[in-house]
Structure formats: structure tokens, C-alpha cells
Structure 1
């Protein structure tokens, strides 16, 4: 597909579905933002020609504002503009693990189309962004454990539909899996490990199941139930992944000035204070905003 054709497709996609519409100048600027710098006269020629073919119109004012008239059928076009293509590429690179398998299958076509668009001349400046920006983790990189595709599919569908699951789960240190009926509450990806947050059988205690230790999973027709007022973010913020034994310790940490600079730039907690000591070191008297204690397994 030539750049001119792709530009015209993008132009029609930019048109609002109702008045007041966009002026030729506004459309030109939005095309430029998407990787299609073009003269105003060329945009006007495209609008005049394409409006006769596809039925969009303008308000006949000065300057005219272009839009799709009410009741116009949807314009179904497979191509992406370079800005959309970059967005899809970033989703593929960094957010794909968060997509349920059913959605990923639908998105695979968009991922492929995005790669093709960024390889065209029009995708040049956005392709440069893709090749010059990276996201790194400070933790030791580990190879992700193998997760059964069927297990991930069943867990994802149960979460989407609010269904119970029957799973066979092999706990760490156990040779054989055990069967559980679980009520899925959430899915957390921590580094390279997927955790199903759930309650099991008829108990109310919230548990975590590493997906790579689930040997089989089957979505049931029964609706899942969840603890009253359960909130996944609150569960995480309250220490759901700190694995504390319930004890607290009073923490006073001292750093050399060079190391402490990192804590000036990236605080451990809201309201953090750092105190300069006479010997040149820096003291962190407390990393908790509510008390001078922290969980016994708080990792710096």
C-alpha cells in the first residue's frame, strides 16, 4: 500500500462522526502528528475527491469543517497510521502478558499490521522511537516458568466471566498435585511469575497460586464469590506480596551520602525523611508513613 493511499485512509479516520467537524488546517496538523507531513492544498484535494466517493461532508462555512454525516455507515479499513502502529507495537512488547488469550488472538492481527506499517517510509520517525526506547527491570532477569496454555486460557476466562475453577495444584515441595475448587479474584504478574489470587473451596482466606504449578484447570458453571469489599490494589498495598510472618521491626538505616542520593530521588514512602549525620552519612529513620515499624520482610 502506497504512502498516499495510507494517508488518505488515515485522513478519513480522523473525521468526526458528527458536527461540528474539523477544519482542513486541523486535519493537516493531525496528519503531521501521525507521520504524514503534507501541504494544505493536498489535504484539500484529498477531501474534495474522497468526499464524493465515501459520502462525508462539510458545513459549507468559512473555513469548512469536515465530518461524517449522521447515519453514515462505518468505514471499516484494516490499515493503521504510524502513530497507532507504534501504540500497538508498545502494547505487544510490554503489555502482551496482561492480555487474556482470547484478546491476544484478536490482537495478533493488529500486532502484525503494526510491524508492517512501521517498516514503511511513513513509519520512519515512529520506528526510530521504537528502536531507541527500552524498559528495564532492576531485578535479576529470570527465564519465565512454563505455563500451560490451556491453564492460562481457563484461568483468564474464569476471571473474565466470574466463574469458579477446578484446578489441580502442586504446591512447592509437593510431589503430587491436589484438587481445589477456587474462586478467582485476580491475576498478578510479578516479574516473570503469574499468580492467581483466589479463595479455595468454602474458605474465606485469600491464597496465591503460581500458574506454572497448576497442572490442569477447568472453568465451572457456578458463579465465583469473593470476600466483601475485596479490592486487588488494596490487597497488594496492604502487603499481600511481602510474605511477612506478621511481625514488625523498627528500622533505622544509614547510608553514605552517595548512596542516599538515590533515596532523595526515589523515595521509599510518602513523607519519607532523611537526616544528615555529623559523620557525613545519611539516616533514614522510618520507611513507613503510619508508624515507625515495617514488615519483617520489607525489601530495600
Structure 2
């Protein structure tokens, strides 16, 4: 295969899908790392020639100018076989309720391609299998918040490149946004909400987490991001209870379930160390050492009066107070 063809194939590989873009200078660096000696002018000529037959666009609205595949450009990779299509189609069902709409739309083109492959296999057993498999949410599903796509793209890009951002952010309980300078440090996906872990430029040592859907605008201000010394993502998540952790110390629980509510633990244990015994009454006694989290409490409360917390006493007291509060509401 001629070097020109190889170079152009590698060039196409490094072009992102809109709204992301890559400049000829950035493409030159990628090609040079692959052993191609080429000028920016030659890359620009290649791009213009390729854009005449492929869905490529040049964004010249803002500097630096860059190139992208159009948003719904087809994937030019190897043909997808039916088993791969089935796997992606099932992943589609599982991921769609978990991901914010704008994020999901970025990868939807791959799921659409999988569905088209399955439709072409309409007479096959694989198509029938796909039609008979469903993903059902275990908990109450919430509608994902609306996200400003341009702001989200800028945030993700800044995190990747280590850039500082000028943003317009709307605080909870307000309607007007504030202009701030933020240093992106990380992203946490919490259910269907994305949170930006960051610091403010005027307070670079105070790490905070902000829901991405509250950003109205975000753009690079030309400066590099500043990171607090010794910042550790996992430690921050634990300290701020973003993961709903209430204590680093595990909690040893003893819980009594009605037979119909506790049976699922015989098939899907809550932990590897659980001890589950069925009593003469038919009830199940669960003993386990678990992370001390809010989710644990939500899980237990979801069984209503079909579960009784026996130990530890502190957790039983929590549920006693909750029961008292509910009795006042529903008296």
C-alpha cells in the first residue's frame, strides 16, 4: 500500500467526531509519532481532498481552526458481525437510562449501526433472540437532566488537556448564572448526573463538585489548570460522601427479612461474607459486614415493614426514628 494511502488512513483515524475538532498542527504531531514526515500544508491539502468524498467538516468559527467528522458520520471500521451487533444492542438498552441524553447521543451512532445489522439478519435466530431480550431497571428511573452540549464538550476537553475554563454556572436555587474560572480535576458519574470535580481560580486549594448540567457556558481561557498538591480523586470522593459513604469503617448488620423479601439473597448475595439462615418461622436472618452507606439504608427502607434491623443498635435506632416520623405523617 502506498505511503500516501497509509498516511491518509492514519489521518482519518485521528479526526474526532463533531463537536470536537483537531487542528492540522495536532494531526501533524500524531502523524510524526507514527513515523510520517509531513508538513501542515500537506495535511491541509489531504483534508480538503478527503472532505470532497467523506463527511468531514472544517470549523473556522473560532481559533484554533480544526477538522471533525460530521456528528452522524458512519463508522468506517471493519464490518460488524451479528454477535457483536447483538452485544451492542443489549448494551444500548442498559446504558441509555444511565447516561445523560447528550452523552448517550455521542455513542448512539454505534448502537444504530448494530440495530441495522440485526435488521438485515431478520430471518436469523440472532434477530429473534434480540427481540426476546429486555433490560428492566431495578430501581425507579429518573429522567436525565438537560445538559448544555457545548459546555459539556468544553469541560471534557479541558479535563483531557489540563486547561482552565471560564464558565457560567447556575447555583442550586438560583436562575442567574455566575461567571467563574475553574480548574477541572475529574468527572464523577453518579447515576444519571455527571459531576465536575474542580477548584475555583480564586480558591485553588478548595476542591468542590459541581453538577455538569448547571453549566450554561464553558470555554478555555488560554491558561493551564492548577491542581492542588497531593490531590487524590478517590480520597476526595470518600471524604465528600459523593459515593454516599458515611464512614470508612464497615458496619456489621443483623437483619430479619420476611420469607418473600429475603429469598432473593439466597440467589444474589449482598456480599461474599454474608451469612443467611432461614428460621423455623420461614424468615431469613442476614448477617454481613458491609460498607456504611446511604445506599444500604435506602435498600433496607425499600422493604418497608417486611424487614427488621436487629444490629447494630445505632442503625436500629435510626430506623426507629424514621418509623416514628412516618407514623406522624401517615397517622
TM range (shorter): 0.5 to 0.7
Q: Tell me the distance in 1 between the aligned counterparts of 2:286 and 2:153.
A: 46
Partner deviation per Cα, 1:13-51 (whole Å, 9 max, x = no partner): xxxxxxxxxxxxxxxxxxxxxxxxxxxxxxxxxxxxxxx
For 2:184, the equivalent position in structure 1 comes to: 184
Alignment of 1:1-300 (within 5 A): 79-95=79-95, 110-121=110-121, 124-201=124-201, 202-224=203-225, 225=227, 228=230, 230-232=232-234, 235=237, 239-242=241-244, 244=246, 252-276=254-278, 280-288=282-290, 294-295=292-293, 298=296, 299-300=298-299
Q: Tell me the distance in 2 between the aligned counterparts of 1:237 and 1:266.
A: 30
> How well do the aligned residues superpose, as a CA RMSD in angstroms?
4.2
Which of 142-151 and 161-170 deviates more?
A: 161-170
With normalisation by structure 1, the TM-score equals: 0.56
With normalisation by structure 2, the TM-score equals: 0.51
Partners of 1:247 and 1:295 within 8 A in 2? no
In the TM superposition, residue 286 of structure 1 has moved relative to its aligned partner by 4.6
Structure 1 gap segments, 5+ residues each: 1-75
Partners of 1:117 and 1:123 within 8 A in 2? no
Partners of 1:183 and 1:199 within 8 A in 2? yes
Partners of 1:165 and 1:217 within 8 A in 2? yes
- Relative to structure 1, the CA distance from residue 251 to residue 88 in structure 2 (aligned partners, 3 Å threshold; closer, same or farther) is closer
Which of 146-155 and 124-133 deviates more?
A: 124-133
- Relative to structure 1, the CA distance from residue 255 to residue 77 in structure 2 (aligned partners, 3 Å threshold; closer, same or farther) is closer
Q: Tell me the distance in 2 between the aligned counterparts of 1:197 and 1:176.
A: 22
Q: Tell me the distance in 1 between the aligned counterparts of 2:211 and 2:260.
A: 39
Q: Tell me the distance in 1 between the aligned counterparts of 2:123 and 2:232.
A: 44
Q: Tell me the distance in 2 between the aligned counterparts of 1:84 and 1:194.
A: 28
Structure 2 gap segments, 5+ residues each: 1-75, 300-331
Partners of 2:273 and 2:288 within 8 A in 1? no
- Relative to structure 1, the CA distance from residue 98 to residue 141 in structure 2 (aligned partners, 3 Å threshold; closer, same or farther) is closer
Q: Which has the higher strand share?
A: 2
Q: Tell me the distance in 1 between the aligned counterparts of 2:188 and 2:229.
A: 18
